[in-house]
Amino acid sequence: MDSVIQLLDEVESRLEGSSNLTVTELSWALGCCGGEFHQLLLGPRPAAPPDLSFLSAEQRAFLSHIMEHRVDSSLTEHGVVLAPDGTTVAMRPVLAGIEAGLKRKREVTLPFPALLVSDRSNSTDPAAPIALDPLYAVTLAQDLGVAFLLSTANRSQAALGPNGCWDSISAPQNFRLMGPSSPLTDALVNGALDGVILGTYLAERAAPPARLSALLKDYYIGAGLAAQGQARSNFRRKNFAELLAHEGKLLREQVESTLHLLWELNQPLFQDVGNESFPDLASQAAKEFTAAYLECPAIIPRCMWEAKPYRGTPTQLKLPLGFVYIHHTHTPGEPCRSFPACAADMRSMQHFHQDVRGWDDIGYSFVVGADGYLYQGRGWHWVGAHTLGCNTKGYGVSFIGDYNTSLPMPFALELVRDTFMQCAVQGRRVRPDYIIHGHRQVVRTECPGNRLFQEIQSWPGFKVRGVSSVGPEQPAPWS
């Protein structure tokens, strides 16, 4: 993403003063929003896009590459970039959302009377056609509807995901998926959520931003949009869900109306599908998408924090589990607030657990950063080394930092208490009647710190048990 922003800044600097460059014109010049579907909703291409002939062949190839999203036979995903928060983002829906946001207040006239295009999706008339919001259609609804359409036609194909791994974090070149690709990968989802958030932000502004590069820099690298600390990519899932609720949007309706529009455009993919199936298809798509991306936390996979391999043969957990054990790391003692810092902490803890303690891997199941993300330790399926005598009974979730006298950030607490626990139950990884314990309730230790232990006693699922006498803090959890 740094490379994208730097190149866009160069383009905008070169064109400044020589033309009345707009974000709209620049997005067209970069190859965004060129298909019939997008042009119908966003308007035709500018008659004379800006001249980018001053770019080198390498620069033009790079811009072209990031705008063409595809997955090849080797499961390498193209058109994606590594964001500073450690996630991977497809640029096409980001720029489409920006374009839609700038034009969102413009009336859109469709040649199909069965469809209504509007800024609102609610209607007091139950017989009225579903309103299609161009912002949601060009970022998420089209790809989500098509993904479930193709998944229905091919039962062996997943509709959503997966995530992937870069060949290098410091100098990323190739991003390869962890498994068979669906039409809507995690990177496309990240780009779609960002596109909706950025588009909504632009639609509510009195004037468009002076530069596209500055907008992207604020969102992905800086303090956030309009200096709002959480209006940035780290919190895209939470912010997108809040936008849906605030605007009264029903994702199911947006997917259904988008499918009807694609049907009217006579897309070849509808050859064996009737439009009477669209309501059920849209309902299923919205339900599964919400469960996977809005009700579950974003988890940074091991490959992204550059974990070393597991030593030996891991033991598989027998799911669902009945317990979740809350820890703090104590060492590192300070919360990490960025992906580089959290990734470094993860590597440091894995080194200590493997090379000093002699364990097979980092002990925790999941680790919570102060950057808005969970980090995968041993993950959902493998027995950890976090709570002596109980490792096969539950997950060990640890907050990075020392929480004897202070608490983790409110959003970090919410991430575990609400999102992680809900996701674990819905995914049948934890029983609905789960029990939460602090580490000190099972092992002689001060973990998870006096202040954090006091906090988790108010959480749903917390149970009092015979607390062992508290001993001195350990530099890492007992196995």
Residue 116: the pLDDT is 57
Paired tokens of 395: 């997950």
The residue among 390, 397, 363, 399 whose CA lies nearest residue 378 is 363
CB 201 within 8 A of CB 225: yes
Q: Is 248 left (phi over 0), alpha (psi -120 to 50) or beta?
A: left
Q: Residue 235 carries which side chain, given as an amino acid letter?
A: F
Bridge partners of 166, per DSSP, are 175
Strands (E) located in 357-473: 366-368, 374-376, 394-399, 430-438
Query: Per-residue pLDDT tens for 289-347?
Result: 999 999 999 999 999 999 999 999 999 999 999 999 999 999 999 999 999 999 999 99
Residue 479: the pLDDT is 35
Indicate the CATH number for domain 321-456.
Answer: 3.40.80.10
Residue 336: the pLDDT is 97
Residue 214: the pLDDT is 92
Residue 126: the pLDDT is 46
CB count in 10 Å sphere of residue 49: 15
Residue 422: the pLDDT is 96
CA gap 42, 39 in Å, rounded: 5
CA gap 130, 170 in Å, rounded: 46
CA atoms in the 13 A half-sphere facing the CB of 165: 12
Residue 443: the pLDDT is 93
Q: How many residues in total does the chain contain?
A: 479
CB 333 within 8 A of CB 446: no
CB 192 within 8 A of CB 143: yes
The residue among 141, 92, 137, 139 whose CA lies nearest residue 118 is 137
Q: pTM of the predicted model, to two decimals?
A: 0.92
pLDDT under 50: residue ranges of the chain: 119-124, 126-127, 467-479
The residue among 71, 91, 69 whose CA lies nearest residue 81 is 91
In 154-223, alpha helices (H) = 186-203, 212-220
Residue 120: the pLDDT is 40
Paired tokens of 343: 């990734």
Bridge partners of 132, per DSSP, are 117
CA dist 196 to 36, 96, 222, 416, 425, Å? 20, 9, 19, 25, 29
CB 251 within 8 A of CB 289: yes
Residue 473: the pLDDT is 43
The residue among 417, 339, 405 whose CA lies nearest residue 371 is 339
The values of phi and psi at residue 37, to 5°, are -60, -50
End-to-end C-alpha distance for the chain, whole angstroms: 39
Q: Is 216 left (phi over 0), alpha (psi -120 to 50) or beta?
A: alpha
Residue with tokens 């190739």: 174
Residue with tokens 């008339």: 125
CB 138 within 8 A of CB 273: no
Q: What residues contact residue 190 under an 8 Å CB cut-off, 6+ apart?
A: 83, 87, 88, 89, 90, 233, 236
The domain limits of the chain are 2-294, 321-456
CA gap 296, 238 in Å, rounded: 10
Residue 478: the pLDDT is 38
CB count in 10 Å sphere of residue 31: 17
